[in-house]
């Protein structure tokens, strides 16, 4: 029996207690391992998901939206605009994902140390990365996913399966802008199609009978319901790309703000710790909006700094 084997207390209460302790711990371990594999190891899962979502959206756009718009005699350039933006976005994606973000190695660490000055707050002189065993240049950080130090480290992007650093920050910004523009173009063409369908059907000036049998003028909820019943896949895709455009648009604005102020995501997050105490931290890397934006696409080198 459980008592003879040394199990303490009431066995009727003990077994449920053991199960309640063991099962959550096992689930917690499984969850932690899954999250670690997703976000802390290099994986192509999000790249595949990214490509699959684009394929699904453009498959629906080509199969239905493009055909209906062509029948309604939409301008060809307007219909081809999403494809042109998609081609540019895929080019930026390949460049961003395959580019060296600015890896700090033992051979170039001494040179990279001279590129940016240490601010003495976020970046201290003389610190050595315990993993890479190299001196950490200012504005660099060790990426636990790529297992290397990255110069002017911004963040690790799972969607491109690469770090964003000094050498691919400009391409990443173009990637975000082109992705937002692509989603916005698909949303605009799709919305124009549905609007044209409503105008041609003359349903906007019609009426309907409500649940009480009273005649009511057609409103927006009725029109949305009518479109969803008539074109369910198109309406669902439109809602998805509108949401995507808003989310990406917000992220693009944030990324542009960082670029214009010469900050990285890593530096912005660290500077939030000081809150309303600006005397403790000041961004010493900002050189004005134009020069800051230029630095994103043409990162400084040691030779340029010596010339200055």
Tokens describing residue 88: 């540019």
What is the rounded distance in angstroms from the CA atom of residue 259 to the CA atom of residue 294? 9
Tokens describing residue 79: 């219909």
For residue 65, what are the contacts with CB-CB under 8 A and spacing of at least 6? 186, 189, 190, 193, 234, 237
Supply angle C-alpha 273, 274, 277, rounded to 5: 165
Rg (CA), the chain: 27
What is the rounded distance in angstroms from the CA atom of residue 60 to the CA atom of residue 297? 35
Q: Please tell me the chain's helix, strand, coil percentages from 3-state DSSP, rounded to the nearest 5.
A: 60, 5, 35
From the list 44, 157, 163, 253, the catalytic residue is: 157
DSSP-derived secondary structure letter, 137: P
Any catalytic annotation for residue 44?
A: no
What is the rounded distance in angstroms from the CA atom of residue 262 to the CA atom of residue 254? 12
Tokens describing residue 30: 């499984």
Supply angle C-alpha 155, 160, 163, rounded to 5: 30
Work out the angle between the directed axes of helices 220-230 and 169-201 (0-180°, nearest 10). Answer: 100
Q: Which of 190, 155, 157, 211 shows the shortest CA–CA distance to 42?
A: 157
Which residues are known catalytic residues?
157
């Amino acid at each position: 029996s459980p008592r003879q084997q040394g199990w303490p207390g009431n066995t009727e209460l003990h077994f449920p207690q053991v199960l309640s302790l063991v099962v959550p711990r096992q689930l917690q371990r499984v969850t932690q391992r899954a999250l670690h594999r997703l976000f802390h190891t290099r994986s192509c899962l999000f790249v595949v998901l990214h490509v699959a979502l684009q394929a699904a959206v453009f498959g629906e756009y080509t199969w239905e939206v493009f055909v209906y718009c062509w029948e309604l005699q939409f301008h060809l350039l307007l219909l081809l605009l999403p494809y042109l933006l998609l081609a540019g976005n895929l080019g930026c994606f390949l460049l961003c994902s395959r580019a060296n973000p600015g890896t700090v190695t033992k051979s170039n660490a001494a040179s990279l140390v001279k590129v940016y000055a240490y601010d003495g707050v976020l970046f201290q002189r003389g610190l050595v990365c315990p993993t890479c065993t190299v001196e950490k240049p200012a504005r660099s950080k060790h990426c636990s996913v790529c297992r290397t130090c990255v110069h002017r480290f911004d963040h690790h992007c799972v969607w491109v399966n690469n770090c964003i650093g000094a050498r691919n920050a400009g391409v990443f910004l173009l990637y975000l802008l082109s992705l937002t523009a692509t989603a916005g173009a698909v949303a605009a063409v799709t919305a124009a199609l549905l609007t044209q369908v409503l105008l041609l059907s003359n349903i906007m000036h019609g009426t309907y009978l409500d649940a009480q049998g009273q005649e009511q003028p057609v409103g927006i909820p009725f029109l949305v319901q009518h479109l969803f019943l008539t074109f369910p896949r198109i309406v669902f895709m439109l809602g998805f790309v509108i949401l995507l455009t808003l989310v990406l648009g917000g992220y693009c604005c944030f990324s542009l703000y960082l670029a214009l102020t010469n900050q990285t995501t890593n530096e912005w997050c660290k500077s939030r710790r000081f809150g309303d105490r600006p005397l403790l931290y000041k961004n010493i890397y900002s050189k004005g909006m134009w020069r800051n934006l230029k630095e994103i696409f043409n990162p400084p080198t040691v030779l340029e700094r010596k010339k200055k």
